[in-house]
Amino acid sequence: MDTEHADPRELAALRAAFGFGAAGRPALGWGAVRAFEAKHGVVLPEPYRTFVAEVADGAEAGPPAYGLVGPAEPPRGRAAGRPARELGRPFPLTSAWVWEDDPRPAEEIDPLVDRVLDHGSVVLGTEGCGVHWHLVVTGPHRGHVWSIGGEGAVPFGAEFGSTTAGPGFAGWVAHWAAGRPWFNR
């Protein structure tokens, strides 16, 4: 997975998967992408970066189930009064964590969960029922996609054992375009 350079074949596959120009929102353009990155202290990982700059700032059709949202959109259903998301702070996880089963007290777990929800990732969209897909933009898992819900967080891709999908945004979209269930082989 190359998070620094866009592969033209991956970009072509992304365009084909979404069927553009039918259901996509206009691309942000490079100026808007650079402004977003400067505001948040991040550089979006490729090929997502080129996708939102040149192809589309989201799409009504999935993935995920309720469509792909742009990098500046807050998660659907985000509770009022939550602190601002801090994309420049590292995403704190490198392996799955089911906080619902964590034996530590809530006052210890809740701040950690807040960091998972708010640090180092852009939200790609929702599957509904509080399950959101995140693209990690800072930290050791930069470029990987994670499923984060009310019970916990799990990385997506073959290297994590939950699927045979390729890594990152391109692998996540290719898996969806092939009609495969998210966490089945």
Concatenating the DSSP letter of every residue in 28-85 gives --HHHHHHHHHHHT--PPTTHHHIIIII-S-BSS-SSTT-BPPTTSPPTTPPTTPPPP
Sheet (strand 145-148) strand order? 121-128, 131-136, 145-148, 153-155
The HSE-up count of residue 103 (CA atoms within 13 Å, CB side) is: 0
What is the chain's pLDDT, residue by residue, as a tens digit (185 residues)?
Answer: 888 899 999 999 998 888 765 456 888 999 999 999 999 999 999 999 999 999 889 888 778 888 899 998 876 655 556 677 899 999 999 999 999 999 999 999 999 999 998 999 999 998 888 899 999 999 999 999 999 998 999 999 988 887 888 889 999 999 988 888 777 65
Look up residue 16 and give its amino acid.
A
What pLDDT sits at residue 112?
93
What CA dihedral angle connects 35, 63, 135 and 104, to 10 degrees? 140
Distance CA 91, CA 103 (A): 22
What pLDDT sits at residue 184?
64
Distance CA 10, CA 148 (A): 25
> For residue 85, what are the contacts with CB-CB under 8 A and spacing of at least 6?
74, 118, 119
- Phi-psi sector, 6: left (phi>0), alpha (psi -120 to 50), beta: beta
| All domains of the chain in start order, with CATH | 8-73+86-177 (3.40.1580)
Phi/psi at 155 (nearest 5 deg)? -75, 150
What is residue 25's DSSP assignment?
P
The pTM of the full predicted model, rounded to 2 decimals, is: 0.92
